[in-house]
Amino acid sequence: MLTVEHTAQETGIVHPMKVLIDTSSLLSLVRYYLPFDGKRKMHDFFKDKMSAKEIVLIDRVFEECRYTAGGAILSSVSCLGDSAFLKDCKLPFSTKHIVAPDTRQFLHHVNNTFVNAPVRRKLSDDQFETEKLGFLAGADMGLVMMCMEYRKQNKGETVLLVTEETEGSNDRKVFKKLPAICQVLNLETITLPTLLQRYPDIDVLYT
């Protein structure tokens, strides 16, 4: 059984300044944590961190949440279905005007480094361009570019991207998964359980 308790115990761990969370981690939260969150402590923890703009939900991830697992994320994380809360916190965060700091180098990575080469070789140039446009407009690239933007704005502070994806899994898709892309860009990715361990004000205990 999973129980969640807040604690005032000091651990010496400094809270990260910005945490961007992927759809996969929100789904993990819904499937493996919230069903045991009878007192809504875990839910309220995430709500408080989003309200404080420490955990950032971007628009592209929010849109994925609408149809992932039949909308289970928005129905289970009730604050995300609360229009008043979203309006007050200015969520989800718009990525409309976010661009990569070094556009030329970034596009080089998109065309070469981020590509799953065996799959790419099976596509025509026109097919690849179509896949690339979808990739650039997707949630993964929104998260990556937001991480790069926060890192540029706040040098010396920690920026984390939370995802349950693994570096090796690609599902035979044209582009690599988030951890592999972030490794190239020197962006730090962690899983949801690792994120929770970084907060001194919450204990996650299996009993």
**What is the Cα–Cα distance from 21 to 192, expressed in whole angstroms?**
9
Question: Exposed, middle or buried: residue 35 (CB in 10 Å: 0-12, 13-18, 19+)?
Answer: exposed
pLDDT band for 206, please (50, 70, 90 cuts): very low
pTM for this predicted structure: 0.89
Q: Please report which confidence band the pLDDT of residue 16 belongs to, taking 50, 70 and 90 as the band edges.
A: very low
pLDDT band for position 157 (cuts 50, 70, 90):
confident
Q: What is the pLDDT of residue 200?
A: 72
Per-residue pLDDT at 182 exceeds 60: yes
The 8-class DSSP code of residue 114 comes to T
Question: Coil, strand, or helix at residue 159?
Answer: strand
Domain parsing of the chain, residue ranges: 2-206
pLDDT at position 2 is 45
What sections of 68-138 are H helices per DSSP? 72-76, 83-89, 103-108, 117-120, 125-137
% of the chain at pLDDT higher than 70: 87
Question: Mean pLDDT, the chain, as a whole number?
Answer: 88
Query: Is the predicted pLDDT of residue 17 greater than 80, yes or no?
Result: no
- Name the more confident of 201 and 75: 75
Confidence at residue 80, expressed as pLDDT on a 0 to 100 scale: 95
pLDDT digits 0-9 by tens, 94-144: 999 998 888 999 999 999 999 999 999 999 999 999 999 999 999 999 999
Phi, psi of 52 (to 5 degrees): -80, 0
